[in-house]
Structure 1
Amino acid sequence: MESAVREGGVVTDTHAVTQKLRPHAEDAFAGELKALAAADDRPRPERWRLSPWAVATYLLGGELPDGTVITPKYVGPRRIVEVAVTTLATDRALLLLGVPGTAKTWVSEHLAAAVSGDSTLLVQGTAGTAEEAMRYGWNYAQLLAHGPSRDALVPSPVMRAMSEGMTARVEELTRVPADVQDTLITVLSEKTLPIPELGEEVQAVRGFNLIATANDRDRGVNELSSALRRRFNTVVLPLPEMAEAEVEIVARRVDQLGRSLDLPSVPDGIEEIRRVVTVFRELRSGMTSDGRTKLKSPSGTLSTAEAISVITGGLALAAHFGDGVLRAGDVAAGIQGAVVRDPSADQTVWQEYLEAVVRERDGWKDFYRACREVSA
């Protein structure tokens, strides 16, 4: 018989959780959250599952007095996390801003999981996001049969969060049409969501707040209005400053993904991870790591998230078509695909980098040969 646990009155099938390809943060790290709640004796804002100190510890990692190890979810400046957590404890909404691949969505999910115990009150922003996704919609069968009523109303994730004192999330806010973005102004300033069809309103209860993520590097973005931007406290998530920090982030995340996909362990491929991170950092900065050679940068962002994707794909190749050990040949195709997004421009950048840098670098001959074979 499959095992089950009871958390907050809900029976959770632990086998089902482990079989999910991508469990929600509150499920994947339920043990850590439970241990933190038990050890947390600091003041908690209304309806928060943890104190701000415990939320920061959950994201940054640490060791509890009973010896429980809390794994880091975010590797970066502590002050950034502290400001983000503190913002959620005020009446200001939080905007996580950064270039693609700086873990905005990841941080947003884990913040919601630690604060509210539920990261699923989510609006995914796209060019087609409608106003109903931010406010509410209608069950048209009920609406036609009985007219406008509470029973016919379908609350959005934002409305649910307001009613229950939870944390709502809006991903890629700048991809949402400007008129739909501005439906949040009243929610964030007055903490009220009018329902004119019923002559009613939903008032947010204590504990409600909202986390939005945005970047301005992708095409097709809609700038936030000054009125909406004023309702947010903006926290910029930077790319990792040091190469080893980025290697750690990639290795940790690939290891988590690899376990869910039954792929080889990361330690067997740490040198390839270091090489991929080096290539990405040099090309996006336009300079080799020793500062001696200037480089052309490709059109893509070459983010940490893309490095994770390259390594995960390489591990899959090593597992299914190799000996299980990550090698240069396993990452060559993936790294070329990440760099060469615009064939007319990026192919030249990549070839020049291979010949001027990779070919001459000690210990990189296998990587050079593998990349040349893919390029041929």
Structure 2
Amino acid sequence: MSVSVDPTADPTSVEPSGNESAEALRPHAEDAFADELAALAAQDDRPRPARWKLSPWAVATYLLGGVLADGTVISPKYVGPRRIVEVAVSTLATDRALLLLGVPGTAKTWVSEHLAAAVSGDSTLLVQGTAGTPEEAIRYGWNYAQLLAHGPSRDALVPSPVMRAMAEGATVRVEELTRMPADVQDTLITILSEKTLPIPELGQEVLAVRGFSLIATANDRDRGVNELSSALRRRFNTVVLPLPESVEAEVDIVARRVDQIGRSLDLPAAPDGIDEIRRVVTVFRELRAGVTSDGRTKVKSPSGTLSTAEAISVVTGGLALAAHFGDGVLRAGDVAAGILGAVVRDPAADRVVWQEYLEAVVRERAGWTDFYRACREVSA
């Protein structure tokens, strides 16, 4: 017997008040970019897969940015190769699940959220993978008061985000898939291959309706933690998100995100902050690569990832320092402590790496004297 699960029956759901979205520290993508999504939907005359809010072309435009026929500017949410986004979107238009793979900080979660927002208009169907994620997070749980009072019944069942997405024909996100225990991961095999979720306690099953899709993310540095079984990996189309190709591309990404975050926190825009952003990005890229940008000097790499996401955090922290304890202008002293915290994760080994880089590279670089002094001051 097949049944459709009514997501409104979830006893754990809470309806937000009318102004929560405006006051949220970090609004969901579908709320933060509601105007852009509405403009795309209004002008999107291309074929849409079942239950999609936009056509695949419009979803890709939403992520990559562009200018619509009426002059509406769509801001880029992802800066990277267009083909990567096109492959990801076309995967969701089939019956295959999508796995976004990459090193930390390559915007896997960011891309998955915006894909779900553009495709389904809802990015909140989310399973966060951790070492303690139970099987119920993928399948379903029970309201134990109802279960004890009346036994297994539909009213006692608490659907997971995956079950709700199957019933609604929506997109569900599974973050950090390889952080989940292997037996929990494998719960997805039947869902992805048979498009069904059995409920043996009720003698029923939930069949996925058209429009259902699943986006998972995984960190490719987590190999050996809980690697995907070959059976599960075959159920995914894998798209690898690369690090930004150039300094300018990464500077652009960091500047855009810092501006968005700063506006949400009511921080003033930092005039001339792009120079400090470029310095932070240059330091991170050189330490990641183990060689300076001109290729002349080899440097040691620290234990941390020094991702684009961490660069965004360093610059945002520096902007807050400049706004609240400075003159509002982002300077080297505002980002120095953040860089030290990002680089020196291992107090012994990483501190040596950082000191060598400061003396061999930063000290000798023209125009970086203020940056060198600021970093030396916080490193002392």
For 2:326, give the aligned amino acid. Answer: G
Partner of 1:350: 354
Q: 1:268 aligns with which of 246, 266, 272?
A: 272
Q: Secondary structure at the match of 2:334?
A: helix
1:1-376 matched pairs, under 5 angstroms: 13=18, 16-218=20-222, 221-376=225-380
For 2:44, give the aligned amino acid. Answer: D
Equivalent residue pairs, number:
366
Deviation of 1:267 after TM superposition, in Å, equals 4.5
Any stretches of 5+ residues in structure 1 without a counterpart? Answer: 1-9
Deviation of 1:19 after TM superposition, in Å, equals 2.0
Deviation of 1:12 after TM superposition, in Å, equals 8.2
For 2:147, give the aligned amino acid. Answer: L
Deviation of 1:18 after TM superposition, in Å, equals 2.9
Deviation of 1:208 after TM superposition, in Å, equals 0.1
Deviation of 1:356 after TM superposition, in Å, equals 0.5
Structure 2 distance, partners of 1:266, 1:83, is: 37
Structure 2 distance, partners of 1:112, 1:308, is: 23
Q: Secondary structure at the match of 2:299?
A: coil
CA displacement, residues 47-67 of structure 1 (integer Å, 9 cap, x when unaligned): 000000000000000001111
Q: 1:16 to 1:136 in 2, by over 3 A?
A: closer
Any stretches of 5+ residues in structure 2 without a counterpart? Answer: 1-14
Is residue 102–residue 303 contact of structure 1 (8 Å, CA) maintained in 2?
A: yes
Partner of 1:4: none
Deviation of 1:11 after TM superposition, in Å, equals 10
For 2:45, give the aligned amino acid. Answer: D
**TM-score by structure 2 length?**
0.95
For 2:237, give the aligned amino acid. Answer: N
Is residue 333–residue 371 contact of structure 2 (8 Å, CA) maintained in 1?
A: yes
Deviation of 1:20 after TM superposition, in Å, equals 1.2
Partner of 1:7: none
Deviation of 1:219 after TM superposition, in Å, equals 7.8
Deviation of 1:221 after TM superposition, in Å, equals 2.3
For 1:132, give the aligned amino acid. Answer: E
Structure 2 distance, partners of 1:176, 1:46, is: 31
CA RMSD of aligned residues (A): 1.3
**In terms of mean alpha carbon deviation, does 265-274 or 235-244 score higher?**
265-274
CA displacement, residues 2-36 of structure 1 (integer Å, 9 cap, x when unaligned): xxxxxxxx9984x5433211000000000000000
Q: 1:218 to 1:268 in 2, by over 3 A?
A: farther
Partner of 2:12: none
Deviation of 1:220 after TM superposition, in Å, equals 6.9
Deviation of 1:268 after TM superposition, in Å, equals 3.0
**In terms of mean alpha carbon deviation, does 213-222 or 130-139 score higher?**
213-222
For 1:159, give the aligned amino acid. Answer: M
